[in-house]
Chain A
Amino acid sequence: MKIVCPACGNHKSFLIPLWVRCTFKFNEDGTLSILHVRQLESLEDKIVDQGKTSFAITCKDCGADALVTLNEYENLDNQKAQRAALEAL
């Protein structure tokens, strides 16, 4: 898998939004303290779903939407699997 920024060419650092469950408490002075943070989404699913969801992976340097390409062999595997499935029919 490869991630690149089509706008500035960055291929190292990207930002990804992820849902988290936050356990917190109200302090007596009205402020909030965070007790625990748990990630709710799998990062792998999220990356593979890039483009299908409204939340995109963005370039850390310029903020543009990043481009994710899966490995060629993964695609080949996929095609092979699809062909096998068709043949089975």
Chain B
Amino acid sequence: MKLLCIRCGNYTYFETDITGIKEISAADGLMTIDNARFPDFDYTEDTIRNNLKDMVDYVLKEDDSSLVFDPETETYYNRFITCARCGSAKVIKPFRPKRRMVPLDQELEENREEFNALRKERTDENSLPRLWEP
């Protein structure tokens, strides 16, 4: 679960506004609008996919700047993403308990055996008997 609507519980469907690109073609005094296509790609489709992904990545990474706190209702509102089910902007990253923070020294000590095993694997690989001589 990456985002959660705290109003209706939806964590699947969302909405956001992004910039898209279209092509205007002029011929014989007529103007038509369509997807902007280049020989090997559809620029309109690529832009929408990329901008949507950028927006979602941004909101997931920078939740401090994408959430605004409303003191009156005491809830957070998402500036960029709304719930596609109920329309609410109360879309937040689900709460995850913070990982226990241990001093780095202690963490290295705890993981020492695992690291040594990993290193050993690498050294052993280099000393495997040669089966084939160039």
Interface residues of A (CB under 8 A from B): 1-3, 11-26, 30, 32, 34-35, 37, 39-40, 43, 47, 55, 57, 60
The answer to whether A32 touches B17 (Cβ under 8 A) is no
Supply 30 A–B pairs (Cβ within 8 Å), ascending by A. A2-B26, A13-B24, A13-B26, A14-B25, A14-B26, A15-B23, A16-B23, A17-B19, A18-B20, A18-B21, A18-B22, A19-B19, A19-B20, A20-B20, A21-B17, A22-B52, A23-B14, A24-B13, A24-B16, A24-B84, A25-B12, A25-B13, A25-B14, A32-B56, A37-B20, A39-B20, A40-B17, A43-B22, A43-B24, A47-B24
Q: A14-B25, A23-B84 are in contact. List 7 more A-B contacts (CB 8 A).
A: A13-B23, A14-B26, A15-B22, A22-B16, A26-B3, A43-B22, A47-B24
Residues of A within 8 A of B19 (CB): 17-20, 55
| B residues whose Cβ falls under 8 Å from a Cβ of A | 2-3, 11-27, 31, 33, 36, 43, 48-49, 52-53, 56, 84
Verify B31–A1 contact, CB threshold 8 A: yes
Consensus secondary structure, chain B interface: strand
A20 to B43, CA, bound (A): 15
Could you tell me if B49 and A34 are in contact, using CB atoms closer than 8 angstroms? yes
The answer for the CA separation of A63 and B57 in the assembled complex, in Å, is 28
Nearest CB in chain A to that of B19: its residue: A17
Given contacts A32-B56, A34-B48, contact A22 B17 (CB under 8 A): yes
* Residues A57 and B14 in contact in the complex (CB < 8 Å), given A1-B31, A26-B2, A43-B33: no
* Contact call B13/A23, Cβ cutoff below 8 A: yes
